[in-house]
Amino acid sequence: MRLSALAASSALLVLAAACGAQGEPRTPAGAPLETRPANNPAQQPAFEGQTRAPAVRTERALTHTVVASGLAHPWGLALLPDGNWLVTERPGRLRIVTSEGRVGAPIAGLPAVDARGQGGLLDVVVGPDFARDRTIYWSYAEPREGGNATSVARGRLSDDGTRVDDVQVIFRALPVYDGDKHFGSSLAFAPDGKLFVTLGERSDKPMRPQAQDLGSHMGKTIRINADGSVPSNNPFVGRAGALPEIWSLGHRNVQGIAIQPGTGAVWSIEHGTRGGDELNLEKPGANYGWPDAAYGVEYAGGAINAGATQKPGTVQPVYYWDPVIAPGGAVFYQGAMFPEWNGDLLVAALKEKHIARLVLQNDRVVGEERLLTDLGERIRDVAVGPDGAVWAITDEQNGKLVRLTPAP
């Protein structure tokens, strides 16, 4: 596609390709990309650049190709070593989709999911030793007595890719709740082999306080070993009343997590209410505020709790969107196809139907671009292929696998 003109195009900063090299300073300055009125104009950012970053633009024309279609609300996307893709469908199916677009039959052997509302089969990742053991990991809304909750399982993908064997549930979030919203759940392996799992607080107002409760997994980021055991250096290990899997707390509904190349830093993307989507730089033991400190307003209007955006002992988001984009998955770009993007964070946007490219400098967002806007579909997850092309899946009844490249 060729990028459509933005409302403030005359004020856009042209980001030269040479500025994308690792280590070189990139300091965009200009009119904000976002020009719509804020959902809560009375709230002010805690620091300059925390919202409404300057617009940046990729100089080359881009084009997208629909590689595959007919997927039922695909949710997670993971690259296999052979260049094909594992794709989850929320109703409970996992498929291999080839890079040429052939959609495989559902992979056998997965446990049942509770596919109600936002629940179902969620994220999928390839294990760090896949070349040796062919182990894959997936998260899902697991039906349980009294309701459901997010669980993580692993299993061996058969050599022919038709089934998973030796399935083990390695993590079960607690408590069980009979609801259909805010399951999280994104997965990411860190370079040290630890698995990060993001969890929502289940949305309903009676459940929200559990995001601040160390005796609950709700509204937390979890860190576990690949076998589900607890790393001894997790921040709350040994603390009375605290669940040892917890890495961070105070989250609403995190559906994107990405490990930064080079630094190993953990970045998460969180759904807010109206005007409160967040990008957070995760630190062990940190409290990100929900529901006591948050940007935006309730969906029905009115303040969230007391309307505070800051609270002692809580960490501010690096960036927030007001109005929201409804973020899904995220990935740091590294590739040869768009060298000027190296180090940028790509974020899937459901409500606003694009991929947000965030230019980061010194752990701050200094530029933002909207990609894939002409597709007109809810972008659920985003990934980078071996050649540097950007791949995305769309959360639609006729969901698609899409490849974004420079135009010929």
In the numeric block, which tokens belong to residue 96? 């291999």
User: Tell me, what's the pLDDT at 30?
Assistant: 83
* Tens-digit pLDDT profile for residues 246-276: 999 999 999 999 999 999 999 999 999 999 9
Q: In angstroms, what CA-CA distances link 144 with 32, 59, 113, 121, 315?
A: 46, 51, 10, 15, 34
Q: Is pLDDT at 197 greater than 50 in this prediction?
A: yes
Q: What is the phi/psi pair of residue 303, to 5°?
A: -70, 150
* Tens-digit pLDDT profile for residues 22-42: 334 454 568 999 999 999 999
* Tens-digit pLDDT profile for residues 81-136: 999 999 999 999 999 999 999 999 999 999 999 999 999 999 999 999 999 999 99
Q: How far apart are CA 137 and CA 225, in angstroms?
A: 12
User: Tell me, what's the pLDDT at 336?
Assistant: 97
User: Tell me, what's the pLDDT at 17?
Assistant: 33
Single out the catalytic residue among 64, 182, 271, 354.
182
User: Tell me, what's the pLDDT at 129?
Assistant: 96
Collapsed DSSP state (helix, strand, coil) of residue 30? coil
Mean pLDDT score, 306-316: 97
182 is catalytic: yes
Domains and CATH numbers, the chain: 69-349 (2.120.10.30)
User: Tell me, what's the pLDDT at 28?
Assistant: 57
Q: Is pLDDT at 15 greater than 90 in this prediction?
A: no
Q: What is the phi/psi pair of residue 130, to 5°?
A: -55, -40
Q: How far apart are CA 401 and CA 408, in angstroms?
A: 20
Mean pLDDT score, 377-395: 98
Q: How far apart are CA 254 and CA 235, in angstroms?
A: 20
The pLDDT-based confidence of 302 (bands split at 50, 70, 90) is: very high
Q: Which of 261, 143, 152 is nearest to 196 (CA)?
A: 152
User: Tell me, what's the pLDDT at 18?
Assistant: 32
**pLDDT greater at residue 296 or residue 10:** 296
One DSSP character per residue, 268-279 reads EEE--SBT-EEE
Q: In angstroms, what CA-CA distances link 84 with 71, 153, 354, 386, 394?
A: 16, 21, 23, 10, 17
In the numeric block, which tokens belong to residue 176? 């069980």
